[in-house]
Amino acid sequence: METSVSLPRPCCHGPTTGAMRVTFDRQHRWRHGLLAKGAEVAQKLDGNMSDEAEDRARRFLEHIDRCIKRCGKPAFGRCIVCNEPLPSSAR
């Protein structure tokens, strides 16, 4: 009988050099951009789309929603794997 072992996800950004400082202004701009993109995707869902395109759009909209929810949390701007600040190249 095989058992599956859950391995930790590798960190996506490697060593942090020049870590980005997430200011309230930057966080507000990202949130505003996410809300605008979410509205754009939701509007496209009202149109005629193939089933595959609609599924992709719905998954994308769910991803945007998760990002909006994360935007207001203290962990925003930190790696979800290692909790280190994201590098400035992630801007």
Q: In this structure, is residue 18 part of a structural domain? A: no
Q: In this structure, is residue 15 part of a structural domain? A: no
Q: What is the pLDDT of residue 19?
A: 52
Q: In this structure, is residue 17 part of a structural domain? A: no
Instruction: Tell me which long-range contacts 66-73 makes (C-beta under 8 A, separation of at least 24).
Output: 67/34, 68/31, 68/34, 68/35, 68/38, 71/27, 71/30, 71/31, 71/34, 72/31
64, with CB counted inside 10 A (0-12, 13-18, 19+), is buried
What pLDDT, in 10s, does the model give residues 35-53?
999 999 999 888 888 999 9
Q: In this structure, is residue 14 part of a structural domain? A: no
Provide the domain limits for residue 81.
24-90
Q: In this structure, is residue 1 part of a structural domain? A: no
Q: In this structure, is residue 8 part of a structural domain? A: no
For 28-39, what is the mean pLDDT? 91
**How many structural domains compose the chain?**
1
pTM: 0.62
What pLDDT, in 10s, does the model give residues 60-91?
999 999 888 888 777 777 777 777 777 766 54
Q: How far apart are CA 34 and CA 6, in angstroms?
A: 32
